[in-house]
């Protein structure tokens, strides 16, 4: 019989990190541990990671921990509407199945034989702060940079992007931007045109989710490719996913297991997207190194062609020790290299 328990941990950002939902200084996570009653020394661990005001299954600490208590008493509890907890349970059980060694998928990445290309993430903030981050990422060898926009003046953000592009051509440096729904449908196309003039690779979620017709029109008319992110949150059934993809017809979708249905939900998103010729990449929801390692191994199950959004392991002063390494825009497990 499998037993389970959970514990909470709070991680602290090295620098306050700006998003469209405010400044982040700390990150809460819950870790589910599972073990066979007759072999208690072998423990599988999975991370339940939430982002307040974004995670569909987090309202407050009390109700979230009530659900975790219910789940630990019965691991077959229905979790379709609880993607962060589902991801934690799926990972814990996979880890247990593979001997409790933080091996979630047996593949080239988990064996230390594969490096995954990733983008360098630029957090929102003052112009000086964003320029400083960009210089750090380029110096660290990143060839793909993702910049969050929509928090300061758009003209200032354009100025920053233009200054990058003047130094680095699109052949040398790929630029992605993430608007987190910051644009109105009326202004979006004009702003996308200005971004396209700077050879931006793609923009994530230019307008708020739920506006299928407006997003479909943007995808058709936009001079740069659109990737859906928040749009996928809370869309759980196969029918809902099919309707969204067929209604909007985006070039890309971006998947976060903690937000988009855990491992099983993301597998279905990938299958439906690929059937429609829609490409994808995966990113973390600011997990600690436990969750990040699991997501990297999950990505290792696929023959990927695009850089992923998995460079978040160095965010915290008190992260869990890990064998993950980021070098020259690649993430890999160091112990077998």
Q: Cα separation of 2 and 4, whole Å?
A: 7
Please tell me whether residue 289 adopts helix, strand or coil conformation.
helix
Please say whether the beta carbons of 254 and 146 come within 8 A. no
Residue 75 has pLDDT above 90, yes or no: yes
Q: What is the DSSP string of 81-111?
A: T-HHHHHHHHHHHHHHHTTSSS-SS-STTTT
Residue 9 has pLDDT above 50, yes or no: yes
Sign of the Cα torsion 270, 274, 276, 278 reads: positive
Secondary structure of the chain: what % helix, strand, coil (to 5)? 35, 25, 40
What pLDDT is stored for residue 196 in this prediction?
Answer: 96
Query: For the chain, what is the mean pLDDT?
Result: 93
Residue of 115, 146, 148, 241 marked catalytic: 148
What pLDDT is stored for residue 337 in this prediction?
Answer: 42
Question: What would the two tokens of residue 274 be?
Answer: 């690929």
Which residues lie across from 118 on neighbouring strands? 308
State yes or no: is 5 an active-site residue: no
Residue of 256, 267, 334, 335 marked catalytic: 256
What pLDDT is stored for residue 313 in this prediction?
Answer: 66
State yes or no: is 256 an active-site residue: yes
What tens digit of pLDDT does each residue of 130-173 get? 788 888 888 889 999 998 888 778 898 898 899 888 888 999 89
Percent residues over pLDDT 70 in the chain: 97
Q: How many CA atoms lie within 13 A of 137 on its CB side?
A: 27
What pLDDT is stored for residue 25 in this prediction?
Answer: 86
What pLDDT is stored for residue 131 in this prediction?
Answer: 82
| CATH annotation of 116-336 | 3.20.20.120
Determine if residue 236 is left, alpha or beta; phi over 0 gives left, psi from -120 to 50 gives alpha, anything else beta: alpha
Least confidently predicted of 121-130, 193-202, 310-319 = 121-130
Query: Per this entry, what is the length of the chain?
Result: 337
Q: How confident is the model at residue 303 (pLDDT cuts 50, 70, 90)?
A: very high
Please tell me whether residue 197 adopts helix, strand or coil conformation.
coil
Residue ranges of domains in the chain:
2-97, 116-336
Q: What is the DSSP string of 64-85?
A: HHHHHHHHHH-TT---TT-HHH
What tens digit of pLDDT does each residue of 94-115 get? 999 999 999 999 999 999 999 9
Closest CA to 116 of 278, 330, 333: 330
What tens digit of pLDDT does each residue of 182-196 get? 899 999 999 999 999
- Average of pLDDT values for 256-268? 97
Q: How confident is the model at residue 14 (pLDDT cuts 50, 70, 90)?
A: confident
- Average of pLDDT values for 33-53? 94
What tens digit of pLDDT does each residue of 202-249 get? 999 999 999 999 999 999 999 999 999 999 999 999 999 999 999 999
- Average of pLDDT values for 283-311? 94
What pLDDT is stored for residue 335 in this prediction?
Answer: 63
Q: How confident is the model at residue 76 (pLDDT cuts 50, 70, 90)?
A: very high
Domain spanning 2-97, CATH class? alpha beta
Residue 18 has pLDDT above 70, yes or no: no
Return the number of other C-beta atoms located less than 10 Å from residue 198's C-beta: 16
What pLDDT is stored for residue 168 in this prediction?
Answer: 87
Determine if residue 136 is left, alpha or beta; phi over 0 gives left, psi from -120 to 50 gives alpha, anything else beta: alpha
What pLDDT is stored for residue 334 in this prediction?
Answer: 85
Please say whether the beta carbons of 308 and 300 come within 8 A. no
What pLDDT is stored for residue 23 in this prediction?
Answer: 76
Residue 251 has pLDDT above 90, yes or no: yes
- Residue 236 burial (C-beta neighbours within 10 Å; 0-12, 13-18, 19+): middle
CA distances to 50, 124, 125, 267, 319 from 10, rounded to whole Å, are 11, 22, 23, 29, 9
Sign of the Cα torsion 116, 200, 23, 236 reads: negative
Could you give the maximum distance between any two Cα atoms of the chain, in Å?
63
- Average of pLDDT values for 57-64? 97
Instruction: Please tell me which residue, 40 or 68, carries the higher pLDDT value.
Output: 68
Sign of the Cα torsion 164, 165, 169, 174 reads: positive
């Amino acid at each position: 019989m499998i037993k389970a328990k959970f514990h909470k941990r709070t991680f602290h950002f090295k620098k306050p990190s700006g998003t469209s939902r405010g400044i982040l200084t700390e990150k809460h996570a819950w870790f589910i541990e599972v073990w066979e009653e007759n072999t208690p020394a072998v423990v599988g661990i999975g991370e339940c990671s939430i982002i307040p005001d974004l995670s569909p299954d987090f309202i407050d600490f009390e109700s979230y921990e009530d659900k975790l208590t219910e789940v630990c008493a019965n691991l077959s509890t229905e979790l379709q509407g609880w993607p962060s907890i589902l991801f934690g349970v799926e990972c814990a059980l996979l880890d247990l199945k593979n001997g409790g060694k933080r091996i979630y998928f047996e593949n080239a990445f988990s064996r230390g034989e594969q490096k995954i290309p990733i983008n360098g993430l630029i957090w929102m903030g003052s112009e000086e702060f964003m320029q400083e981050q960009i210089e750090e990422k380029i110096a660290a060898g990143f060839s793909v940079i993702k910049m969050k926009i929509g928090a300061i003046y758009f003209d200032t953000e354009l100025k920053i992007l233009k200054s990058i592009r003047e130094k680095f051509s699109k052949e040398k440096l790929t630029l992605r931007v993430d608007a987190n729904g910051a644009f109105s449908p009326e202004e979006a196309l004009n702003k996308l045109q200005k971004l396209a003039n700077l050879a931006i690779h793609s923009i994530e979620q230019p307008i708020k989710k739920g506006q299928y017709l407006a997003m479909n029109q943007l995808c058709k008319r936009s001079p740069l490719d659109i990737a859906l992110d928040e749009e996928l949150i809370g869309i759980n059934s196969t029918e809902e996913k099919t309707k969204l993809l067929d209604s909007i017809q985006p070039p890309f979708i971006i998947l976060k297991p903690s937000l988009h249905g855990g491992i099983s939900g993301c597998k279905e998103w990938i299958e439906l997207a690929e059937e429609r010729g829609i490409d994808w990449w995966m990113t973390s929801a600011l997990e600690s190194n436990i969750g990040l390692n699991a997501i990297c191994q999950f990505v290792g199950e696929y023959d990927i062609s695009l850089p992923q959004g998995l460079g978040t392991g160095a965010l915290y002063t008190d992260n869990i020790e890990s064998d993950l390494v980021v070098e020259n825009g690649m993430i890999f497990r160091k112990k077998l290299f």
